Chain A
């Protein structure tokens, strides 16, 4: 109740330019004024609705930075001994699609709160040495983890802007997804990669610096800190990311951008015992081993931002890892693509 009162009083801080009286405007600082769009056609609504589609494909394997073929990861009884680096079941292609609807509200020119609701669809092609399961496909889909976040922006110069964001990711995505795997007849619990949520309360954080002008530079650092242990006895690894991006206008309405990012992810802590088989080598596939998650990546991205109208934006972004060092054998990221629409209401 206390926290609700705090949030309500915070929201009623009616400092938004579009909705303020002259006397309220007089209370605004330069820091707040610097974020207000001065164009006459700009929307005065504090609400922003967004939709984003993200596609990711994982194909092939890496152990550290050494490539492995699917055949090298697949255990062939009689031809080679079973080790901790080969498996009777091998995912060959993993695709992930995420549709995210977001709603943001500008409490003031500097403060924004937002809500992001993802819908996830995943599909994994497999090969295996198990009869009747030589090739098979597993799919999962549903609501992912909903994120609420707040962002605060401030200026350190006429063209320098900083932003800090912090949020809470709620465990609304399922971690009990099941499918028909060679592990046993019927449906069984699916590996971590095929689940829709983390099952834990996570805290996304980020800091960004932007230098505006004809040539725009953005630098950022972000993290996703996960807490506790979920109901299935594990916690996904934390993620840390450093980003740099350059963008410039190629026309009045279109900006192009390119950048580089460094990503570090932890492996999974704990494990889901339902994924194990009764054997000296208890992991039937690499994606059932919690230690074979995480690693380091260097990603290159390019894209464009199109301002269709003063309050409607479209963004395209293609991301390709140029270097990966993974806790492997682990499926390697091939590429990701993202498309987003943003509309001021």
Chain B
């Protein structure tokens, strides 16, 4: 009986301890879009652009986003002053409308007319219809979980390197 009482007390303590985890993210962005923003940031860690993409090592890696402002703001908070790669380059989020040069482009609209050249850009498109066939990465849903598909040939054509760690988790087209 003593043993059971001890167990109940221990379990109660653990439940109280766990109940302190109630702080929620106050972002109004839907969970799926939050996830995509985190994925975009993670992509920059595993992709290496050719040196010719950058005028200097200190140049930033630009993630150009064709998505509502709330998405850009959320992604901005994710990448906040973070550096990636061997050269420890800073990341920045730019609206595609005003972008000049982009390393990563995220497209969600169907009528995208890209205002920039695509030579060194990795294009990521949202899940759904394959409306932008030039994409290198495409999000899709598997069992309610977000996944991504990589077109390796397109990466090779642009001389952009993808880490084997990223390929391991991707569906290869």
Contacts and interface: CB of A to CB of B under 8 A. Distances in A.
Interface of A: 7-8, 11, 14, 16-23, 25-26, 28-31, 33-40, 42, 44, 46-47, 103, 105, 115, 143, 146, 155-159, 170, 172, 212-213, 310
A143 B146 CA distance: 41
Contacts of A146: 7
14 contacts: A11-B14, A19-B24, A22-B25, A23-B80, A25-B78, A28-B38, A34-B146, A37-B31, A37-B145, A39-B32, A42-B31, A156-B168, A158-B170, A159-B147
A16 B22 CA distance: 11
Interface string B48-72: 0000000000000000000000000
Contacts of B149: 158
A36 B146 contact: yes
Nearest to B22: A19
B21 A42 contact: no
Nearest to A46: B21
Contacts of A19: 21-25
B79 to A, nearest CB: 7
Given A26-B78, A44-B24, A170-B7, A159 B142 contact: yes
Contacts of B143: 212
A36 B145 contact: yes
Q: A interface, by DSSP: helix, strand, loop or mixed?
A: loop
Interface band, chain B = 35 or more
B171 interface: yes
A22 B24 contact: no
Closest 6 CB pairs of A and B: A22-B77, A38-B32, A38-B146, A158-B171, A26-B78, A158-B147
B3 interface: yes
B141 interface: yes
B27 interface: yes
Contact of A36 (B17, B18, B35, B80): B35
A150 B79 CA distance: 32
B78 A212 contact: no
Contacts of B39: 30, 33
A22 B78 contact: yes
A172 B4 contact: yes
Nearest to A106: B21
Interface in B8-35: 11, 14-15, 17-18, 21-25, 27, 30-32, 34-35
A158 to B, nearest CB: 4
A280 to B, nearest CB: 39
A143 to B, nearest CB: 7
A38 B141 contact: yes
A33 B146 contact: yes
B41 interface: yes
Contacts of A11: 14, 17-18
Given A34-B145, A46-B21, A22 B27 contact: yes
Given A19-B23, A40-B32, A157 B4 contact: no
A36 B4 CA distance: 36
B82 interface: yes
Contacts of A36: 31, 35, 145-146
A11 B18 CA distance: 7
B145 A14 contact: no
B145 A157 contact: no
B42 interface: yes
